[in-house]
Amino acid sequence: MSAEQNGSEPGRSRALVTLTVNGAEREAWVEPGDLLLDVLHDEFGLGEVRYGCGEGVCGTCTVLVDGEPVSACLMLAVQAEGHAVTTLSALSGARDELHPLQQAFLRLGGSQCGFCTPGVILTAYALAQRFEARGSEARAPEARAPEARAPEARGSGAPTRDEIRYELVGNLCRCTGYTKILDAIESYLAEGPEGSR
Amino acid sequence: MTSPPTEAVPTEAVPTETQPTETQPTETQPTETQPTKTQPTEPRLAPVAPMRVVGQRVSHHDFVDKVKGSLHYAADWQLPGMLYGRVVRSLVPSARIVSIDTAQAQAMRGVAAVLTGADVPRNSLVERASGGLGELLVPMPILAADRVRYVGEPVAVVAAVTQQIADEAAELVAVEYEELPGLFDMEAALEPDAPRVHDEGNVLVNWHIARGDVDAAMAAADVVVEGTYRTQHVEHAYLEPEAGVGWMDHDVVTVRASTQVIEHAAEIAEILDLPANKVRVIAAYMGGGFGGKEDMTVEPFIALLVWKTGRPVRMIWDRQESMLASTKRHPFLMRYRTGARDDGRIVAQDIDLLGDAGAYPYLSARILFAGAALSCGPYQVPNVRVRARPVFTNNVPTSAFRGFGAMQVTFGYESQMDRVAAALGLDRGEVRRRNFLRKGDLIPTGETLDTVVAVDETLRRALAALGEPSPPSAPGRLVGRGFACNMQPYGRTIWFRDRASAWLTLQADGTLLIRSGVTDLGAGQAASLCQIASEMLGVPLGDISVYIGDTALTPPAGGTFATRQLYMSGNAVLNAARDLRANLDPVAADLLGCPAGELNYSGGLVRAGDSADAKGVSLAELARACDAQAVELSCLSTWRAQAGTFDPATGQGGSFPDYTYGTHAAEVEVDPETGEVRVLRYVASHDVGAAINPMRVEGQIQGGAMQGLGYALTEEIVLEDGLTASSLFSSYFIPTSLDMPDVQVEIVESGEGKGPLNARGIGEPPLGPVAPAIASAIADATGCRPTRLPMTAERILALLDEQAGRP
């Protein structure tokens, strides 16, 4: 990061940061206090990363940082340097296709107003990734923080509905009552990542 | 890229976005593969023609953008040179403003404007929520100039080149207050020597509804049961905070905001002292609203700043600000006296309702009317006396919130039904069944119900679905079951002579445009219009585009509230589609050489009869033929709701167009050591007349029930002398994924309703029965009846202590 007295506003210190977002390196001049949320939403135009509460409770600004769900309102932009940041756009891929997890949400009515949906889907996606890693043993369980684990991982079966509930506790939804969100995630996990294709 | 599907039959219909590709098969999949927890009720009370698109579990249109995260909400809008706004709010609940010093804020580099009440051309809005039926006319300033009446009241507004500078400048606006006595309790507001929140008086309106001879009926009753019930301030907690962006478009002040009501453009014009044609409001798809975006939020501040600076302005309220200052659900104090005969028949209700309106009128007058009109629930009551009064306090203002006064009273009347049953030693369900309203019955306002009342069927279905009782999870735990019924209006109070317009255009290539002023809360308001149009015109969903919520470009639809948009705009689209069919039919009949009555519109085709191999023409061919014959392909239709009058002097007259009925049933486990209540099972059943989209109906019911569970058990904006102790999501507990069970839905389709294709509205109804159902289950488990919401562990423990005679 390089810092200087710069930027559009006089008297404010700005720094050039390079962030890896959805696989691409992107630069932004930020103030030290700028949140990752604001840089992603306002500077990079990633509208799916949304301000909801600013206190890390609601989960509408959920992004994946090195594969784990993080509230972008609790992370400074400068802290994200050197980490891989993933937003929901990444799931659609270059051809802008719906990911099977997104298809499950569409098919089963897991979205109403849609404001919480990107965060919810990313949290579910991270759970699915862990589940896959667990299955293939491609990733040692120690690699992730213990508190990030569901009420303990059991055997090789897909995460139970209760385990999904546990994972989603950081993503509030005020519209659906969660039932159809859980249906969608459960369906995706049961069918497997290739199942819906 | 494949071409869009052309069949609208269930197995192939339902393209879900404008550019479907072959790699997205599930979007266009049939929906019969979905696991469904609900079965249509049998028998339908009125036969309904087989539907192709209506009644299907389709997801299309905005929902594709939602799962992709690509929908542009109010905050997702940027314009060159855009400024950022911040409201300066009162820190005290009741005070005279001695001075406002904006000099320091103005002097900050990057600040473009600091406005106070003196800068507002007409700094006064007068709400007439009762429609002229006798409420006090109390002016509300846009920016308080000489007096503040609640914590969070706007006193100034700032715009700057960054949000951070705007926030810092807002901190520098120095307001000197001289504090005045505050009024924080609605009963205290009635005292003769109470401080006056407004010079006009503390009682905004005094509603009466009266029928029969209550005193005589009470005297003759075999049992009279009394109950007092209290409910709390509740926050909507939509996940999208209030937000919008405004700009000048030529000389028109344009605001694109998260709002349920674009018609506020007229009030914005009034505030700016501009002609109505110089203000335009565009509604973004909302990230939830639940009534909290029915009144204006950011709009007047954005409009003021845009108008003063000439530059684009964005304003987003932060969560703390939203929880501090946005309107809340009314706390109600409800006093019931219910007289019944030995056989359980209700003979009289004597009801007094008090609602805390907070510091300004907003929609309180109408909300307390709804509370009064619905205060007896879905029961025959020959003798009724209801009084309902919203009163001013120096608490945060209260206004519309999903359920709108008709949901608070459910806790009152259903608790009373349980108490009547207990007093007479009768079954809780039996007492209700003996009193249920029926089609043709009179309700307290003296109106006759003219559609079927299927509440008994919802009761039967809800209780059946609850299944076998659960055993306690540990020794000493108490398991209990309860249920509650409700009726909730859909549509506005009928003296507002409600109407909605929709405009349909069949284009030359056979695709369809719908233009409607409807705003979309996230419940699929716009998508449902597409389904209805598709059903009527045979245009595949993927070939329909719907443009909504713009005072400049869409015909007025009257806001999304009061569970009115399916009823109103659904009927408007249905009528516009019928008008369009009336134009198309003769041309199609001529082309196909068959009587117009045999035409079948489906899958983008018009065929001469219902068989799949019947001769047909595409809608594109038909459109071209119409064009050649100068037949109009664009139809604007206005649908008018049933109108009527209410006489506030006699307390009799018209109230609402119709109602949606339901029953919820719950099983709870109470831990008597801690008072903790765990909901084990939850079933919600409503008669929706006909389900336009069963998946969205279920979604409305599940989401509404979950909001109701929060209301019943955990949610409360705690106010201490007007100061909120709950201004964070970490101190205000809406249910998370871990807190509550799945809500099982039982959809009843009676085949009768006043919405399009016999549908009833379902937006608000699922909230009402929750709190009384949970209270009933707690009473069943413990023998103690909760009378105050939320039913927190502390309160349940206190009830158990009281029952056991513990201090």
Out of B59, B319, B706, name the one closest to residue A106 (CB): B59
Per-residue buried b or exposed e for B586-620, using 16+ beta carbons within 10 Å of the residue's own CB: ebbbebbebeeeebbbbbbbbbbeeeeebebbebb
List, for residues B474-509, the tens digit of each pLDDT value: 999 999 999 999 999 999 999 999 999 999 999 999
Tokens of B231: 């409910």
Per the structure, the count of domains in chain B is: 3
Question: Chain-wide mean pLDDT for chain B?
Answer: 93
- How does strand B383-392 pair with strand B346-358? parallel
| SS3 category, B545 | strand
Nearest by CB to B66, from A41, A111, A173: name it: A111
Residue B31 within any structural domain of the chain: no
Structure token pair of residue B54: 């209506």
B228 domain-assigned: no
Residue B324 inside a domain? The answer is no
B90 closest CA partner among B146, B42, B46: B146
Instruction: Provide the pLDDT confidence category of residue A141 given band limits of 50, 70 and 90.
Output: very low
Fold of A93-191: DNA polymerase; domain 1 (1.10.150)
3-state secondary structure of B646: strand
Subunit contact B737:A169, Cβ cutoff 8 A: yes
State pTM to two decimals: 0.92
Shared domain for B267 and B135, answered yes or no, is yes
- Residue in chain A nearest B284 by alpha carbon: A113
Domain presence at residue B707: yes
The per-residue pLDDT for range B565-581, each reduced to its tens digit, is 999 999 999 999 999 99
Taking the C-alpha atoms of residue B15 and residue B555, their distance in angstroms, rounded to an integer, is 26
The full DSSP string for B33-58 is TS--S----SS-SS-----SSTTS--
Collect all residues of chain B within an 8 Å Cβ-Cβ radius of residue A114: 62-63, 65-67, 71, 285, 287, 522
pLDDT at residue B402 is higher than 70:
yes
Please tell me the least confidently modeled range out of A91-95, B115-119, B185-189.
A91-95
Which residue in A has a C-alpha nearest to residue B742's C-alpha?
A: A179
pLDDT for res A140: 45
Q: At B358, which CATH number? A: 3.30.365.10
Query: In this predicted model, what pLDDT tens digit does every residue of B144-194 receive, in sequence order?
Result: 999 999 999 999 999 999 999 999 999 999 999 999 999 999 999 999 999
pLDDT band at A44 (very low <50, low <70, confident <90, very high): very high
Please check whether residues B676 and B795 belong to one and the same domain: yes
pLDDT in the model for residue B420: 98
Contacts of B107 in chain A (CB under 8 A): none
pLDDT at B111: 98
In chain A, residues 154-193 whose CB comes closer than 8 Å to chain B: 164-166, 168-169, 171-183
Using a CB–CB cutoff of 8 Å, tell me whether A118 touches chain B.
Answer: yes
Closest CA of chain A from B83, distance in Å: 13
B630 found inside a domain: yes
Q: Cβ–Cβ of A33/B164 closer than 8 Å?
A: yes
Q: Which residue has the higher pLDDT, B157 or B757?
A: B157
User: Are residues B433 and B476 part of one domain?
Assistant: yes
Looking at the partner chain, which of B24, B62, B737 has a beta carbon nearest the beta carbon of A97?
A: B24
Distance between B323 CA and the closest CA of chain A, angstroms: 10
CA nearest A108 in B: which residue?
B34
Q: Which residue of A has its CA nearest to B323?
A: A53
Residue A192: predicted pLDDT: 66
Q: Which pLDDT score is estimated for A11?
A: 59
Which chain B residue has the Cα nearest residue A54? B319
- Per-residue pLDDT for B10 more than 70? no
Q: What confidence score (pLDDT) does residue A10 get?
A: 54
The percentage of residues in chain A with a pLDDT greater than 70, rounded to a whole number, is: 80
pLDDT tens figures, B327-376: 999 999 999 999 999 999 999 999 999 999 999 999 999 999 999 999 99
Q: What pLDDT, on the 0 to 100 scale, is given for residue A137?
A: 55
DSSP B689: S
Res. A13: pLDDT tops 90:
no
Report the residue of B2, B18, B56, B67 to disrupt the A interface, i.e. the one with the largest count of A CBs within 10 Å.
B67
**Domain check: are B602 and B694 in the same one?**
no
Domain boundaries, chain A: 2-87, 93-191
* Domain limits for position B761: 332-493+648-804
Mean pLDDT for the stretch of residues B420-427: 98
User: Is pLDDT above 70 for B4?
Assistant: no
Report CB contact under 8 Å: A111, B729.
no
Q: Which of B63, B285, B524 sits opposite A106 (nearest CB)?
A: B63
- B23 pLDDT exceeds 90? no
Q: Is the same domain home to B659 and B800?
A: yes
Residue B614 lies in a domain: yes
**Nearest Cα to Cα of residue B773 among B643, B663, B641:** B663
Do B510 and B390 share a structural domain? Answer: no
Question: In angstroms, what separates the C-alpha of A144 from chain B's closest C-alpha?
Answer: 22
Residue A9's pLDDT is: 54
Question: Residue B190 domain-assigned?
Answer: no
Q: What is the pLDDT of residue B56?
A: 86
Q: How far is B125 from chain A (nearest CA, A)?
A: 30
Task: Give me the residue from B59, B71, B162 closest to A109, CB to CB.
Answer: B59
Which pLDDT value is given to residue B15?
35
pLDDT in tens, A161-177: 999 999 999 999 999 99
Instruction: Give me the mean pLDDT over the B434-463 stretch.
Output: 97
Cβ atoms < 10 Å from Cβ of B559: 25
B790 and B713 part of one domain: yes
Where a domain ends, among B640, B667, B695?
Answer: B640
The number of angstroms, rounded, from the C-alpha of B505 to the middle of its chain's C-alpha atoms is: 29
Q: Do A47 and B26 touch (CB under 8 A)?
A: no
Between CA B374 and CA B377, with CA B376 as vertex, the angle to 5 degrees is: 70
In the CATH hierarchy, which top-level class contains the domain A2-87?
alpha beta
CATH number where B93 lies: 3.90.1170.50
Whether residue B35 is predicted with pLDDT greater than 50 in this model: the reply is no
Q: Which residues contact B6 (CB under 8 A, 6 or more apart)?
A: B540, B603, B604, B605
Q: How many CB pairs under 8 A join A and B?
A: 210
Same domain assignment for residues B750 and B714: yes
Q: Write out pLDDT tens, residues B666-702.
A: 999 999 999 999 999 999 999 999 999 999 999 999 9
Cβ <8 Å between B67 and A106: yes
The 3-state DSSP class for residue B156 equals strand
Strand arrangement of the beta sheet that strand B383-392 belongs to: B207-211, B383-392, B346-358, B332-340, B223-230
- Tell whether B474 and B569 lie within a shared domain: no
Domain co-membership, B255 together with B154: yes
Beta bridge partners of A63: A70
**For residue A193, what pLDDT band results from cuts at 50, 70 and 90?**
low
In the predicted structure, residue B651 carries a pLDDT above the cut 80 = yes
Of the listed ranges A145-159, B371-385, B511-525, the least confidently predicted one is A145-159
Model confidence over B722-745: pLDDT tens digits?
Answer: 999 999 999 999 999 999 999 999
Query: In degrees to the nearest 10, what's the CA dihedral of B364, B368, B371, B374?
Result: -120
Structure token pair of residue B285 = 């798809």
Mean pLDDT of B501-530: 95
State residue B30's pLDDT score. 33
Angstroms from A133 CA to nearest CA on chain B: 24
ipTM of the complex, rounded to two decimals? 0.92
Q: What confidence score (pLDDT) does residue B481 get?
A: 98
Q: Is A108 within 8 Å of chain B by CB?
A: yes
Contacts of B706 in chain A (CB under 8 A): 176-178
Which residues does chain A have within 8 Å of residue B164's beta carbon, measured at their own beta carbons?
31, 33
Axis-axis angle for helices B619-628, B571-592 (nearest 10): 80
B355 plus B488 within the same structural domain: yes
